[in-house]
Amino acid sequence: MAKSVRQIPGVLFADVNFATGMLLLEYDRDRDPRPRAVATVVGAGHGVEPLDADDVLVTAPSWWTHHRGEVAVAVSGALIVLGWLIGSVGAEVASVAAYGLAIMAGGTITWRRAVVSLQARTLDMNVLMTIAVSGAAAIGEWGEGATVMFLFALGGILESRSVARTRRSIRDLMSLAPERARVRRDGIESEVPPAEVAVGEAIVVRPGERVPLDGIIVHGISAFDESPITGESIPADRGVGDRVFSGALNTTGLVEVRTTAPASATTLARIVHLVEAAQASRAPVQRFVDRFSRWYTPVVIAGAAFLAIGVPLLGELTGAWPGIESWQDWTYRSLVLLVVSCPCALVVSTPVAIVSAITRATRDGVLVKGGAFLELAGKARVVVFDKTGTLTEGRPTVAEVVPLASEAAQRVCGLAAALEAHSNHPLARAVAAAGADDASGLTVSDVVEMPGRGVRGIVDGEDLVVGNLAFVSEHVTATGDVSTTATRLEDAGLTVLALARTGDDGSVLGLLGLADAVRPEAAATTAALAGAGIEHVVMLTGDNERAAARVAAAAGVEEFRARLLPEEKTAEVTALRERHGVVMMVGDGINDAPALAAADIGVAMGAAGSDTAIETADVALMRDDLSALPRFLALGRATMVNIRQNVALSLGVKAVVLVLAITGHATLWMAVFADTGMALIVIANGLRLLRRR
């Protein structure tokens, strides 16, 4: 179809997206070939729907356009039954007439598409089927020719319905964005199309409504079902300052949202666009199948011509198979070979599996940029993790409190939290959060912060200081016990802060060990990777060896490299590729970009709402959940197994029927099964990936 459209004057480029059923057209505006392109598509028996409601070139298809194929098949089937009944009572002429009408009814769309194919100078299944059925009628096999045409048309309808299942997923995603947004302007609410809402305007989302545009909540609190974006089935609580995404369902409360992106650039819109592009892309295995089919069909057609003409002619010359019966027999065999020759099942075997797998991954909150990365996922042997923000949560927490000078641990934590509550440093926020309950009721005054070092102030009348050991040692003298305890904490990979009382009776009251918390699912994920076929799990970090060892042990990672600069991480990834094969690296999609690019597959964590991560990563985990990774790898392996099954089935059955056709033991019915029937089987097999969990 695309090749026929490309030959229209003024068309610069044309391509058909298998996944979405869209014809992409690039054309010379001065010549405007769109009317002819639409006429070509309609002339081939396909329906055409406008993407733009204001498009005057295309009108919405009628009921007849949608269902003429089913009507034609039903009429053809009825005429075949009529022909059989008439023939059973000896009315041969009337029977042949009924079969002839059945061929005409069943072949209505087939012949139109055959003409378009010949105009494009290509030989597709419609051309071959037209020749085969016409040949069957010419040698008197009217009943078989009619039945073959009926089965072919019926198979085409079933095939189109099956493929439509993969397209519905994209349409379902697109339909999640509401058609109207309730915008508040000058205190008045009005409903407008989302495209008319400017960035920064306020929109109101009521319970039970979907969010029309990306934004930040400025008033209200609610739980949002974000499963279309992140794949997370449990609604997420969101309040003032939190981000919400277009397509998310507001389940409980009324919220006001300040928009942060236009309708064309929401997270949902980007996901739909990238999934469409991914499904249209070809994996290496698919490109191989396409190349194979290009020479396979002409070779088999040449073989069919030789069977129809060359073999009986040779028989006449040698006296081995003289007579008209020999010509009819070998012509019938060649017709069977013609039907078998089109690699429909082979060609569709790969894209239906790729499209189904990409759709399945998207539903699970994993955005895959193309079939090539699914194929690579099936071959991955090494997974490399960045540490901070990937295996860890990217935010420090208080892991241990060691009281000194007879103070209780809660008292030390509370005093430190009272001071640190006045600082914006990440470590200070961690301490403030950990001791918030113990700090309640404490009076704080005269707070002075030394950026990057610590905080000093008066808490309940006591002069206190909290910060790193060097800063605290400027105010009090650290004893041997303090140094020994600090060393122990540092050896465990913790960052140490000290709390001290200053003045004449100054002393260190306690030490706090802080660490970047390891994700709770990290250990289970690394264990599951081994079951998914991964041979090596490696962690790369710029942090020190002690911190790296602590995280690696908690996450179940046996290999790690510490104190690495960005270029050294890239070199490590390259070395792992050379030693072990396909490497997948998991990071945050922004930092360590060179190392992510050096890997065969770069995976971004928590990409929802991150423009950079969604656009640059090969694979994006839409939420901060590492457990999706082994499932994605398992999906990649299942996809490759599915493709190999499809290719083996389609080629194996064709090979058997080809041999039977040459030896005269195959019928046209068997040939239709080997082509259209196997196409239906491989499509059904590929669609199984949609149901995979």
Q: How far apart are CA 16 and CA 386, in angstroms?
A: 39
Burial of 181: CB neighbours in 10 Å, binned 0-12, 13-18, 19+: buried
Q: What is the DSSP letter of 210?
A: B
How many Cβ atoms are within 10 Å of 405's Cβ, its own excluded? 16
406: left (phi over 0), alpha (psi -120 to 50) or beta: left
Residue pair 182/210 in contact (Cβ under 8 Å)? The answer is no
Residue found by looking up tokens 């996922």 in the block: 377
**Which residues, 6 or more positions from 525, have their beta carbon under 8 angstroms from its beta carbon?**
626, 627, 629, 630
Q: What are phi and psi of 692, to 5 degrees?
A: -70, 140
Q: Please, are residues 219 and 255 in contact by the beta-carbon 8 Å criterion?
A: yes
Report the distance separating Cα 275 and Cα 137, nearest Å. 46
Question: How many CA atoms are closer than 13 Å to the CA of 70, on its beta-carbon side?
Answer: 8
| Residue 505, C-beta contacts closer than 8 angstroms, at least 6 positions apart | none
- The CB-based long-range contact list for 478-482 (8 Å cut-off, 24+ gap) reads 478/508, 479/507, 479/508, 481/404, 482/404, 482/508, 482/511
Q: Hey, how many other C-beta atoms are within 10 angstroms of the C-beta on 594?
A: 12
Sign of CA dihedral 374, 378, 383, 387: positive
Contact between residue 432 and residue 414 where contact means Cβ atoms under 8 Å apart: no
Please choose, from the candidates 182, 137, 157, the residue with its C-alpha nearest in 3D space to the C-alpha of residue 328: 137
CA atoms of 60 and 50, how far apart (whole Å): 7
Q: Which of 476, 557, 481 is nearest to 519 (CA)?
A: 557
Locus of tokens 């990774």: 629
Structure tokens at 150: 């009926």
Q: Minimal CA–CA distance to 485: which of 504, 498, 475, 473?
A: 498
CA dihedral sign, ordered 197, 200, 204, 210 = positive
**Rounded Cα gap, residues 569 and 546, in angstroms:** 18
How many other C-beta atoms can be found within 10 angstroms of the C-beta atom of residue 255?
Answer: 26
Return the residue matching tokens 């590492």: 626
For residue 626, which of 359, 396, 391, 394 has the smallest C-alpha distance? 391
- The H helix count followed by the E strand count for the chain is 27, 24
Active centre residues (catalytic): 386
How far apart, in whole angstroms, are the C-alpha atoms of residue 357 and residue 639? 7
Residue type, 650: S
| Residue at 396: amino acid letter | P
User: 3-class DSSP state for residue 493?
Assistant: coil
Q: Which residue has the tokens 């264990």?
A: 527
DSSP three-state, residue 691: helix
Centre a 10 Å sphere on the Cβ of residue 192 and count the other Cβ atoms it contains. 15
What torsion, rounded to 10 degrees, do the Cα atoms 631, 636, 642, 648 define? -150
Please classify residue 663 by burial: count the beta carbons closer than 10 Å to its beta carbon, then call 0-12 exposed, 13-18 middle and 19+ buried: exposed
Q: How far apart are CA 312 and CA 329, in angstroms?
A: 9
Q: Residue type for 514, please? A: L
